[in-house]
Amino acid sequence: MPGTDSMSASSRSTRLQLLQGIPLFSCLSEAERERVAELSTELACRKGKVVCREGEEGDSFFVILSGDFEVRIGPGLGRVVNRLGPGDLLGEMALLMGGQRSATVVAARSGRLLVLDRATFDRYFRRNPKVLEHFARILSQRLAATSHGEAVSERTLAIGVTGSPGLKGKTLVSTALAGFLKEFSGQEVLLLTTSLGRGRGMVPALPLAGAPTQASIDRIRAELKLGGADPAVLMLQIDPSGTAELLTQGLSALMARLSDLFSYVVLDVACEPASLARCAEEVCHIIVEIVARCEPGAVPEKDAHTHRYRVLNLYNPESSPIPIRHCEPFVLSRDRELEGRDPASALAYLREDPRTLTSASLRRLARKVLGGTVGVAVGGGAAFGIAHVGLFQVLEKNGIPVDIVAGTSMGSIVALGYAAGVSASDMREIARRIGNVRTTLSALDFTITKPGLLAGNRLIEIFGPLTGDTQTFDQLILPCQVVATD
């Protein structure tokens, strides 16, 4: 059983109100519900907290009040077999049947549990026919899902965009990420922005100081614009004097209440209050961090409960260009067309032209979040290497974006050209123009002073147009790695 994390318990009346909204407790009389509310305790679970482990003796029963929990089986943390949220039950089988826990339960998002010990469970639940019928129905549903091989239901994926104070780019990244997630997935996406106090804006706003009331949630659900090309936007009005604990509770509860509307929630994490970044760590499954410096290929330390991606924004004075040869970090270049634009206008521009470094990087980031990254490795062999231009043309024709490329020998020239932003159709025209006997013979500059048979200088002159105006790896649009062969 997890330790007692510090989080203020609901008052008795509030707890009773929570119980009345959970189907299991409708099986009890009002007097029994009041008594259970008195005997139960609340447990705060930070993200990553193990609630119970497979094989342990079960001595308590849990009801989820808020948060997102994963049910896992197998060695260690095992594999996810179910996801549970507010109103769901945990640990009832160990108390009903006796014996050990059948699965490990981990908090995937900060939340709260109502805990009942064995004595309370035995007194109010074990011998109640309606309660036993309710448990039997839940068990039957779980067994049916397992026997039919049903996939684990997907949760609402929460992404937080953060960065140290003074670093630019959070709003651009969060707006573009929300827009591209909506475009690529076809699902509803919510963009959460924040303001201190009750500032007025052009989008629906929600004061956030602890868990929002049902009335405020109903109002917001009615005001949010769904079904359009752009993500819905909600401004959270944050009380600067509120505690990190209340803010975490509020964000977790809000995401749970809106989970039936949105498949993805993107949180633009402002620098103030400072506690907001810590709260994002507790409620978000993915953290996208704006960084001042990052070496190519550097990957954040692995975290079992949070995926992390880094973005290098060259508008920050401390940031310098790096070779674009790895998936990460995602680099945002200086682009005059983006300067002075509001978030909506910036998103429209990025949608119009996918072949700029900033647009390509943010599109790759969105596909990374969706788990849909595509890489192409281009082989060599003179004409065979050039023939891969046709592959890129087929991919473009069928709307399949390429996120990373690699090549060897002649194929490296094609790969670099595509990574530089030259379209497949343009490369095809260039290849057609230079693909003749005279050009081929002129490329033969034999040497006895270099490792290979050919010096390669004439090859560079002939095939240089395939890479356009790009001269160095830091000017590439897509990550690219090449291997030279002789």
Angle at 428 between CA 427 and CA 432, to 5 degrees: 115
* DSSP bridge partners of 404: 375
pLDDT digits (tens, 9 = 90+) for 349-375: 999 988 888 999 999 999 999 998 999
Q: What is the pLDDT of residue 4?
A: 43
Same fold, 5-148 and 157-370: no
What contacts 24+ positions apart, CB below 8 Å, involve 31-34?
A: 32/124
Task: Report in angstroms the alpha-carbon separations of 121 from 104, 127, 128, 289.
Answer: 21, 9, 10, 45
Q: Which two tokens stand for residue 79?
A: 């594999």
Tokens describing residue 445: 């500059």
Residues near 456 by beta carbon (within 8 Å), at least 6 away in sequence: 445, 450
Q: Model confidence over 180-213: pLDDT tens digits?
A: 999 999 999 999 998 886 655 678 888 887 777 7
Q: Dihedrals φ, ψ of 226, to 5°? A: -115, 160
Q: Which of 290, 351, 294 is nearest to 327 (CA)?
A: 294
How much is the pLDDT for 168?
Answer: 93
Given this model, what pLDDT does residue 6 score? Answer: 37
Residues of the chain with pLDDT below 70 are: 1-14, 142-154, 197-201, 302, 304, 382-383, 385, 431, 433-468, 485-486
**121-134 burial, b if ≥16 CB within 10 A, otherwise e?**
beebbeebeebeeb
Give the pLDDT score at 309: 94
Long-range Cβ contact pairs of 6-13 (< 8 A, separation 24 or more): 6/44, 6/245, 7/42, 7/44, 7/112, 7/245, 7/249, 8/245, 9/41, 9/42, 10/42, 12/37, 12/38
Beta strands 157-163 and 286-291, pairing class: parallel
Output the pLDDT for position 37. Answer: 83
What is the reported pLDDT for 402?
93
Peptide bond into 329 cis (omega under 30): yes
Largest CA distance in the chain: 97
Per CATH, the number for 157-370 is 3.40.50.300
Per CATH, which fold does 5-148 belong to?
Answer: Jelly Rolls (2.60.120)
Q: How far apart are CA 296 and CA 310, in angstroms?
A: 11
Predicted model pTM: 0.79
> Domain boundaries in the chain?
5-148, 157-370, 375-483
Structure tokens at 243: 């505690």
